Chain A
Amino acid sequence: MMEKILVIEDEEHLRDNLELLLTDEGYHVVTAENGKEGIHCLVQAPFDLVITDIIMGDVGGFAVLEHVVTHTLDTPVIFITGYASTESAMAALRQGVFDYIAKPFDMDILLMAIKRALEKVRLQRQNTETWS
């Protein structure tokens, strides 16, 4: 089954490029322009992975992460940011982000992170099924 990835990015071209590249890699990609729209998507349907920018207007990446954590969703979240700093990276990791990638990134690095995240979620779900 095709894994479903939600890409939340306010930079249109980057959003489109990611959609194209990830689709090429065989993923089912859904895009959102900002955090608000992204959370709406998450409410509508389950996702295997969320890739989100941090700073986007009123509702940013941290709000999306908070939504995922408070709704006890097993979806891993990867932050991609142009404003990488030790402080924000630490805050993100503390709040349960799966990975934190600074822009501009190598696609290989992003694909690697996606693979690890999906592997994690797969194992997690497998465990849950086994125990239940």
Chain B
Amino acid sequence: MGLVTIVIEQQQHNMLLKESRKQAFALAANLAALSEGYLLTYDFNKLQQTVERVAAAADVVYALVQLHNGRVAAYSGRSDLQGEFLEDPVSQQAITAEKPLVQEVTMPALAERGYDVAIPLFAPESTHKWGTIRLGFSLAQALREIQKTLKDLLLLTGLALVLGTSVAILLAQYIIKPIQQLVRGVNEVVKGNYHHAVTVTSQDEIGRLAQRFTEMQGALRASMTSLAEEKRHLEEANTLIKATQEQLIQREKLAAVGQLAAKIVHEVNNPLAVIKTSLAIMSKRWSDGDRTKEYLQIIEEEIGRMARIMRQLLDVSRPASDIALLQVNEVIQYLMQFVAEELTARQIESRLEFADDLPTLRMSLDHLKQVLLNLIKNAQDAMPQGGTLLVKTTSQAGGLCISVADTGSGIQPEHLRLIFEPFFTTKKHGEGMGLGLSVSANIVKSSGGTIEVDSVPGKGTVFRVCFPAYLPSREENNFLARGYVEVKEE
């Protein structure tokens, strides 16, 4: 704005000075035309009248005529100078000019800027210089004009500045505020907050940009959500793979242990059979009252114990049959048939509480039976005086739980953390190897489940086994709906 003002002022200034110069020159030319005749005839009176008349014009400070030798022929308002020489440098410059000459001077009388216009006059048809016409033209008026213009311009500039600034501030408010909101929104997105709302409602480009930004934010939010979802799925799949892998390893281990145990049992059973038959032969050789026969009986009993241990070892390490889809309630019902007689004999009342909405379980039927029989057997052993056995199934988020509760002697708190350890037993020698619970826990873990125990000494014990549900395919569902359950006959 300031630059524009300066340029305008400069142009105005130059234009006014040019006009003044033209005007000064025109006046001087007029004086020359009026004075020429009088100068040729040396009519000084007429020349004086002419210069006085010309000097009366506006802005003319002086008008004078000098002879070719420099003497003053006429001088407006200074007739006393007629015949005098003018020694000042401007006059000296003027009288020597062969062509019209304009000098910028400071008027001595008024201390104003002005022009001194000198026009040499020549004799007709000759190059002989006859004299010089000079006119002093004041620029005071022009400079005042310039000053005024400058003042007006400055005023206008000031006004424009004030107005411009106000408009700029208003515009800034109008434009920058939404942009700032957008920037804040972008920063929030960068920080990971996809819920920061940008409230720009204008219909201009910024408004459209804000609208697009909000859309983009929504799309980002959606894609972040789906990414998170995807990540969760992947993590779940990963966990599942790991669990399955561990189950497989565990199953392999169990199978290997089972094979080894079976081999050992077979190998040991043969010599035991030899010992036992040998004992039978020896017993026949001794009469009933003989001490030796008593010892033989002890040996035979101990052989029987060894055989039982062998059988238990075979039971706990039996390799699993194929994995099947199981309806747990039906498996329990089926198993209870086999233990019912013994439970009744031991005065144990058995109760079953089944949840109707149990999901399908996918594991080896042999393994499930082994775990359940083990828990039932333990419960039975814990109630030598009789009691109540409660087998209960419950459905829970993503799986199912089976609890086996007895009203027996309970487990001492110091034993609780040991019961799942292999070879830990509180039973009498020969009654158990302490492998049942440890093998059961291994089976449960290898099927992705958990086993826990809660016991109050003197009141009873509750074992709770939980398994993840198997989600069957549609075909499998149809199959299951027909009441199919893989329970092998024995």
Q: A24-B284, A104-B276, A104-B303 are in contact. List 17 more A-B contacts (CB 8 A).
A: A13-B274, A13-B278, A17-B278, A21-B281, A55-B266, A80-B273, A82-B265, A82-B267, A82-B268, A82-B273, A83-B262, A84-B314, A85-B318, A103-B269, A104-B304, A107-B276, A107-B277
B303 contact set on A, CB distance < 8 A? 104
Q: Which of B265, B267, B280, B303: most chain A CB closer than 10 A?
A: B280
Q: Is A20 a contact of B281 with CB atoms below 8 Å?
A: yes
- Residues of chain B lying within 8 A (CB to CB) of residue A107: 276-277, 280
6 contacts between A and B (CB under 8 A): A13-B274, A13-B278, A21-B280, A84-B314, A104-B276, A106-B276
Q: Which residues B253-275 have CB closer than 8 A to chain A? A: 262, 265-275
Kindly state the separation between the CA atoms of A21 and B490 in the bound complex, as whole angstroms: 33
In the complex, B307 has a CB within 8 A of chain A: yes
For the complex, give the distance between the alpha carbons of A20 and B277 in Å.
10
**B residues in contact with A82, CB < 8 Å:** 265-270, 272-273
CB within 8 Å of B: which A63-96 residues: 80, 82-86, 90
B281 touches A104 (CB 8 A): no
**Cα–Cα distance between A7 and B146 once the two chains are bound (Å):** 147
> Which residues of B sit under 8 angstroms from A119, Cβ to Cβ?
none
| Cβ distance A57 to chain B, nearest Cβ, rounded Å | 14
Q: Are B269 and A102 in contact (CB under 8 A)?
A: yes
Contacts of A20 in B (CB 8 A): 281
* A residues whose Cβ falls under 8 Å from a Cβ of B: 11, 13-14, 17-18, 20-21, 24, 55, 80, 82-86, 90, 102-107
CA distance A103 to B455 in the complex (A): 39
Q: Which B residue's beta carbon lies closest to that of A53? A: B270
Q: Nearest-CB distance from A78 to chain B (Å)?
A: 14
Q: Nearest Cβ distance between residue B309 and chain A, in whole angstroms? A: 12
Complexed CA–CA distance, A94 and B134 (Å)? 155
Q: Once the chains are docked, how many angstroms separate the CA of A21 from the CA of B310?
A: 25
Once the chains bind, are B284 and A104 in contact (CB under 8 Å)?
no
Is the Cβ of A104 less than 8 Å from the Cβ of B272? yes
Chain A residues contacting B275 (CB-CB under 8 Å) are 104
Identity of the chain B residue whose Cβ is nearest the Cβ of A10 in the assembled complex: B270
Report chain A residues within 8 Å CB of B490.
Answer: 86, 90
Q: Which residue of B lies closest to A82 (CB)?
A: B269
Q: Closest CB-CB distance, A98 to chain B, in whole Å?
A: 19
Rounded to whole angstroms, the CA-CA distance of A70 and B269 in the bound complex is: 31
Query: A11 to B267, Cβ gap below 8 A?
Result: no
Whether the Cβ atoms of B277 and A14 lie closer than 8 Å is yes
Report chain A residues within 8 Å CB of B262: 83, 85
Query: Separation in Å of the A6 CB from the closest CB of chain B?
Result: 17
Cα of A103 to Cα of B284 in the assembled complex, Å: 21
The closest CB in chain B to the CB of A11 belongs to B270
Contact of B307 with A104 in the complex, beta carbons under 8 Å: yes
Which residues of A lie under 8 Å from residue B277 when comparing CB positions?
A: 14, 17-18, 21, 107
Report Cα–Cα, A74/B266, bound state, in Å. Answer: 30
State A35–B262 Cα separation when bound (angstroms). 22
The smallest beta-carbon distance between A27 and chain B, in angstroms, is: 15
- A16 to B47: give the CA distance in the assembly, Å: 181
Cβ of A110 to closest chain B Cβ, rounded Å: 9
Chain B residues near A17 (CB-CB < 8 A): 274, 277-278, 280-281
| Residue in A14, A20, A21, A104 whose Cβ sees the most chain B Cβ within 10 Å | A104
The residue on B at minimum CB distance from A106 is: B276
B271 partner residues in chain A, CB cutoff 8 A: 11
